[in-house]
């Protein structure tokens, strides 16, 4: 049984790291998926030693079916020239929690997000910034930006 999502107010913050532009259609195919190599790039960098790791989804072309940018990195007070920086927009986020082995728990939690928004709901995504916050080796919280 999964825990129901909760609404949380989030203050703006910056994540710096490595980025790639992709779309869900490509990520569902092992031959065209870009996210596994993006995460590998992150985990072989010095950034991976940090405790607070984020996966940020931003620059949506349209909605969940279009292209978007994923940045894997850490919270930072300033941009670093050799890395990409993305700002998490302040506002209300719907938070979905997941616990279990990685990366399966991330995939399962995203499935819960998509199923939640397929059903008639009072919440509407803003497609500005969504993010995954990794709270330990087997815990993820996915924050979905709301209108």
pLDDT of the chain, 147 residues: tens digit per residue: 467 999 999 999 999 999 999 999 999 898 999 999 999 999 999 888 877 899 999 999 988 889 999 999 999 987 677 899 999 999 999 999 999 999 999 999 999 999 999 987 899 999 999 999 998 889 999 999 999
Q: What is the pLDDT of residue 49?
A: 85
Q: Beta strand 68-76 with 84-88: parallel, antiparallel or unpaired?
A: unpaired
Please give the helix or strand (H or E) that residue 37 lies within, else none. helix 35-43
Residue 1 falls inside a structural domain: no
Tell me, what CATH number does 95's domain have?
3.20.80.10
Q: What is the pLDDT of residue 1?
A: 45
Domain span at 74: 6-145
Residue 47 falls inside a structural domain: yes
Residue 97 falls inside a structural domain: yes
Residue 121 falls inside a structural domain: yes
Q: What is the pLDDT of residue 2?
A: 61
Would the pTM count as exceeding 0.85?
yes
Q: What is the pLDDT of residue 137?
A: 85
Please give the helix or strand (H or E) that residue 76 lies within, else none. strand 68-76
* Domain count within the chain: 1
What is the chain's length? 147
Q: What are the C-alpha distances in Å from 114 to residues 16, 107, 108, 119?
A: 26, 11, 10, 9
Residue 31 falls inside a structural domain: yes
């Amino acid at each position: 049984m999964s825990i129901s999502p909760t609404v949380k107010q989030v203050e703006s913050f910056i994540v710096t790291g490595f980025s790639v532009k992709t779309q869900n259609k490509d990520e569902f195919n092992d031959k065209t998926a870009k996210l596994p190599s993006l995460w590998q790039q992150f985990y072989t960098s010095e950034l991976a030693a940090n405790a607070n790791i984020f996966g940020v989804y931003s620059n949506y072309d349209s909605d969940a079916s279009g292209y978007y940018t994923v940045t894997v990195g850490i919270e930072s007070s300033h941009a670093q020239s050799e890395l990409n920086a993305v700002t998490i927009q302040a506002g209300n986020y719907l938070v979905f929690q997941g616990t279990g082995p990685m990366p399966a728990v991330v995939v399962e939690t995203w499935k819960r997000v998509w199923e939640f928004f397929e059903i008639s709901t009072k919440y509407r995504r803003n497609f500005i910034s969504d993010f995954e916050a990794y709270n330990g080796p087997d815990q993820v919280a996915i924050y979905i930006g709301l209108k």
